[in-house]
A = this chain, B = another copy of it.
Amino acid sequence: MNTWGNKIKISIFGESHGGGIGVVLDGIPSGLELDTEFIKAEMTRRAPGRDNLSTPRKEADEVEILSGVFDGKTSGTPICAVIRNTNTRSKDYSPNILRPGHADFTGFAKYGKAHDFRGGGHFSGRITAGLVFAGAVAKLCLKESGITVGSHVKKIHTVSEDSFSDLSLTPELLSEISQKGFPVIDDSVGEKMKAEILAASADKNSVGGIIECAVLGVKPGIGSPFFASLESRISSLIFSVPAVKGIEFGCGFDFADMYGFDANDQFETDGKEIYTKTNHNGGINGGISNGMPIMFTTVIKPTPSIAKPQSTVDLEKMENTTLEITGRHDPCIVQRAAVVIESAAALAILDALYD
């Protein structure tokens, strides 16, 4: 079901080439001033068409808020935000030729002939625009509790930059990165990443990468054991984002190479507060925040839409065939996915905060 959450509820809807997409967000307290400039900026971070790295489908992604806001403030009732689909060319899509790496085949397997295949339909990355809107509202809520969410592109194909964990993170740094067209710590590495993307594009190919996300300011005691652990909540939302195929918290898969003594975060106190000396566990023990930055890393697979010819099947004829996708497509979506990942994290943290 496309509804998520315990204390907040998110319902997402829409298809790439239907009338519009959107989200209903419930559980947001009344009286929150909606910073529309901030929301607009967040939407822009996700929107394609901003530079030569992305598909030329220029989507304004203008949000219309239908409910739940009164005189610029949340009224406490469900907030419905709608984004119209404007720049759609359905004829680009054939219902019969399955695009490898996409959900064309599984969509038909689940929904049958009624599946809206145009541009991936409900499976399109475009649907995440609703998540970004909801995430922006969540970030405004979190801000009131002194919580900041940020991320950077840690790796594009073979080019990577330092981890957040090597730095002393501040809300200011996260904010600064979020305002960059290509969200990295070190812009010189960012240029190399862009070159990698353009090279793949020139070869009719695509690349993926890794995003590192941090949440600062979460006090100890937020979250739950078991099914509503912070990791469970965050991961269930993160894997809602198309193209995400992995997530790790703190040292993640590197834990396998460590000894217990090195993996444990030992405690110390100044007599007033309790800290961990290290943050190998990414700010979470037993599903609950320990006061350190919440840190996770997620991988985005290379965009499946590539111009290189691929073997596939004609669903109607049930014959093998070759697909050559024409027109320009995103050679990489990692840089645009960063804000989506942050949004998912913000919503998951907010849901836990309201427990």
Contact = CB atoms under 8 A, between A and B. Distances in A.
B242 A232 contact: no
Interface residues of A, number: 151
Given A14-B80, A260-B302, A274-B105, A26 B2 contact: yes
A110 B288 contact: yes
A78 to B, nearest CB: 4
B208 A288 contact: no
Interface string A48-85: 00000000000000001111111101111111101000
29 contacts: A1-B6, A2-B228, A13-B67, A13-B77, A14-B78, A21-B66, A30-B115, A31-B114, A67-B122, A75-B111, A75-B116, A76-B110, A98-B267, A101-B260, A106-B288, A158-B257, A200-B260, A209-B256, A231-B245, A232-B239, A239-B287, A245-B253, A253-B253, A261-B310, A264-B304, A267-B311, A267-B313, A268-B312, A268-B320
Interface stretch (A139-147, A163-171, A172-180, A277-285): A277-285
A49 to B, nearest CB: 20
Given A100-B267, A268-B311, A208 B258 contact: yes
A328 interface: no
Contact of A236 (B208, B227, B259, B313): B227
Given A221-B110, A227-B4, A256-B155, A313 B264 contact: no
A196 B251 CA distance: 21
B268 A14 contact: no
Contacts of A114: 30-31, 70-71, 73-76
Interface string A244-262: 1111111111011111110
Contacts of A228: 1-2
